[in-house]
A and B are shown apart, each in its own frame.
Chain A
């Protein structure tokens, strides 16, 4: 039990589909993150939320739309994706954004494949 749960674990979709990734954390944390892990590239930070407010958008295309309805849940809405968006999408949480020494806890990710 990692404390951070992501669903679905695997998702295959066409370029014209609309789908959503879900992340739920059971750790009482106030900050949540979306990362993208592509083959042969380092993990890339996409979005950061603190107390349900987006505090960072790391130049992510608008076909990715995050939503944080409360501090325990984070969604990533997907529409009109491209083949290069195929990757492992990881969610993480941390206690909050203050200070620099709080570890981030990661979920197991959603493996996304775009046809």
Chain B
């Protein structure tokens, strides 16, 4: 059974710092890995999707890496801003429709 773990559970950093969020998964047989953002009381917004054949994806200040063989992914956020405060969720896709999620990292950027 696939298990997805995100560390740390919560992170608080000053504005302007670069930071890394971690995600690990137990079964490397995945189609892809997605990073989502969830604001309080809201649904999920997809940030980056890395296909199983890819090593990384970039979007603006965000960079996500994938090491499928070791079951790890990182989300790098450069020059963090208060607007980046949210919960970040990692999910791996198994089968055509099944997403398995981690519990998330709650990120707070302090002005």
With both beta carbons as reference points, the residue of chain B lying nearest to A44 in the complex is identified as: B101
- Please tell me if A108 contacts chain B, counting CB pairs below 8 Å: yes
A100 in the interface (beta carbon within 8 A):
yes
Give the contact-size bracket for chain A.
Answer: 20 to 34
Q: How many A-B contacts are there with CB distance less than 8 Å?
A: 64
Residues 46-61 of chain B, each 1 if its beta carbon lies under 8 Å from chain A, else 0? 1001011000000000
Whether A90 contacts B44 by the Cβ 8 Å rule is: yes
Candidates A2, A48, A98, A100; contact of B43 at CB < 8 Å: A2
- Whether the pair A100, B42 counts as a contact (CB closer than 8 A) is no
Q: Name B's A-contacting residues (CB within 8 A).
A: 4, 31-32, 34, 36, 41-46, 49, 51-52, 89, 91, 93, 95-104
On A, residues with C-beta under 8 Å from B are 2, 4, 6, 31, 33, 40-45, 48, 50, 55-56, 90, 92, 94, 97-101, 103-109, 111
